[in-house]
Amino acid sequence: MRNPYEVLGVDPRASAEEIKSAFRRLAAQHHPDKNPDDEASADRFKEINLAHQILSDPDKRAAFDRWGTSAFSPGGASPPGPGFGDFSSVEGMFGDLLDALGMRPTDRGNVRQRLRLTFEEAALGCTREVSYPRTDLCSTCGGDGAEPGTVSQTCPTCHGRGRLRVPQGILPLPLERTCTRCHATGRISRRPCRACHGRGIAQAQHRLAVTIPAGIEDGSSRVVDGAGSRPRRDRSPGNLEVVVEVAAHPFFRRSGDDLTCRVPISFVQAALGSEVEVPTLEGKAKLRVPPGTQPGNVLRLRGKGVPRRSRMGRGDQLIEVQVEVPSGLTDRARELIQQLGDELGDELLPERKGFLDRVKAWLG
C-alpha cells in the first residue's frame, strides 16, 4: 500500500476540499470507462479510490498520520484489539477508549465563514447577513432518516440504545462504541430518506444575521454559538466563526482607535488661517486651520475616530496638512508672488533661515 498523500499528489496539510479536488481529477483521468483494456490504469484507479477513502475520513486520516500504512495492515503498528482495523465503521479500540474518557477528537461541527466589510461598517458596527453551507437535520424527513410516509423501527443491532458494548480483554473497564448501523440514533428504516440517504442530516445553504460590534479590526472574528453544522443527528450543532475582512478606505487609515487622513490646503489658507471642510466617518466636518500652518502639521478632530471597544468614547481623527503649491501661474500671479517673496525675506521664514544658517556654519 502506497502513501495516500503521494497517490493523490497532495500535501499532508491539504484541506478536505483540496483532497476531493485531486481525487476527482485523477479518477476522471484513470476511470476504466476512459481506459478500456488498460490493466495498469484500472489498478491505478483502485489505488486512487483507496487513497481517497482514507484521506476523506477524519478517523482514517488521523490513523494514517500517526501510524502510517501499518494502521491498515493486520498485525501492523496499530494497537491490538477488536475492531481497530475496521475503519469502515469509523471506530476502533483506541477510539473507543478515548471516547469513553471524553478525550476523543471528533468533528464538532464548527464552521468558519469569511465576511467582508466596508471600512465604515467595521468602524461603526453593523448587522450583516451571512450565507454559508451548513449540515443540519434533513428538512425532508425531519432528521428521522426514513422516507416520508414510512415508519422507522428499533435498530436490531444496538436494540435502540445507539451504543454497543465492546469487550476488552486487556483493559479493566468495559467500553462502548457508537452503533454504526443506526448512527447512534437507535432507529433505522427499511426505506431510507432519499434526500439524506437515511443519515437524518443534510447540507443546505443557511442564512443568518450577524451583529458586528463597532470598532472591530481586520482579521478579528465573531463566534455564534450553535450556528454551525450538526456532525450527527444525535449531536448538537457546532459554532459559526465569522472572520472579518475590512476593505481599505480611499481617505482614512486606522491606527488603533484613531483615524488618519491627508487634506490638501492652499498656500493662502496655510499662511493666513482658514476653516476647511474635511471628511469624517459620519460625513463632512469643519476644521480650523491656524495661521502659519506648516506642511506636514497634524491637526486633530477629537472624538471623530473609531469607537473604543475596551472603554467608553471614541478615538480622534488626525489630519495631516498638505500645503499645495500653485502651478500654471499667470504673469500677474507670478509678479505678485515675486513681490510677496521680496517682502517676506528670510526673517519671516524661520525654518528656511535656520537651514541657511546651519549651511553657512558647516561650510565655514
Q: What angle, rounded to 10 degrees, do the helices at 39-55 and 58-67 form?
A: 100
Q: Judging by beta carbons within 10 Å of its beta carbon (0-12, 13-18, 19+), is residue 130 exposed, middle or buried?
A: middle
- Tell me what pLDDT residue 82 has: 34
Question: Please, what's the b/e burial string for 188-199 (b: 16 or more CB within 10 A of its CB; e: otherwise)?
Answer: bbeebbeebebb
Cell 426514513 identifies what position?
A: 146
Which amino acid is it at 308?
A: R
pLDDT in tens, 90-124: 334 444 444 444 444 456 789 999 999 999 999 99
Q: Please report, for residues 53, 72, 142, 264, 291, the alpha-carbon distance to residue 178 in angstroms, rounded to integers and kept in the order given.
A: 20, 21, 21, 70, 79
Question: Please, what's the b/e burial string for 45-82 (b: 16 or more CB within 10 A of its CB; e: otherwise)?
Answer: bebbeebbebbeeebbbebbeebeeebbeeeeebeebe
DSSP 258: E
Q: Judging by beta carbons within 10 Å of its beta carbon (0-12, 13-18, 19+), is residue 317 exposed, middle or buried?
A: buried
- Tell me what pLDDT residue 352 has: 62
Q: Please report, for residues 18, 47, 109, the alpha-carbon distance to residue 134 in angstroms, rounded to integers and kept in the order given.
A: 19, 31, 9
User: If we measure between CA atoms, which residue out of 267, 264, 257 comes closest to residue 287?
Assistant: 264
- Tell me what pLDDT residue 121 has: 94
Rounded Cα gap, residues 55 and 292, in angstroms: 70
| Beta pairing class for 253-255 and 258-266 | antiparallel
Rounded Cα gap, residues 269 and 297, in angstroms: 13
What are the residue ranges in the chain where pLDDT is below 50? 74-105, 170-171
Task: Report phi then psi at 154, rounded to 5.
Answer: -65, 135
Is residue 65 within 8 A of residue 12, CB to CB? The reply is yes
Is residue 306 within 8 A of residue 357, CB to CB? The reply is no
- Tell me what pLDDT residue 356 has: 67
- Tell me what pLDDT residue 73 has: 58
- Tell me what pLDDT residue 58 has: 85
pLDDT in tens, 288-343: 999 989 888 999 999 999 998 877 899 999 999 998 888 888 989 888 888 887 87
Cell 469513553 identifies what position?
A: 100
CA 257 distance to own-chain centroid: 24
Q: Please report, for residues 225, 308, 364, the alpha-carbon distance to residue 115 in angstroms, rounded to integers and kept in the order given.
A: 17, 21, 64
Cell 481623527 identifies what position?
A: 317
- Tell me what pLDDT residue 118 has: 94
Rounded Cα gap, residues 231 and 227, in angstroms: 12
- Tell me what pLDDT residue 70 has: 66
Q: Please report, for residues 158, 200, 301, the alpha-carbon distance to residue 161 in angstroms, rounded to integers and kept in the order given.
A: 5, 17, 67
SS3 content of the chain, % helix, strand, coil (to 5): 30, 25, 45
| Beta pairing class for 274-280 and 258-266 | unpaired
Contacts of 110 (CB under 8 A, 6+ apart): 228, 229, 238, 239, 240, 241
- Tell me what pLDDT residue 122 has: 93
Rounded Cα gap, residues 122 and 116, in angstroms: 9
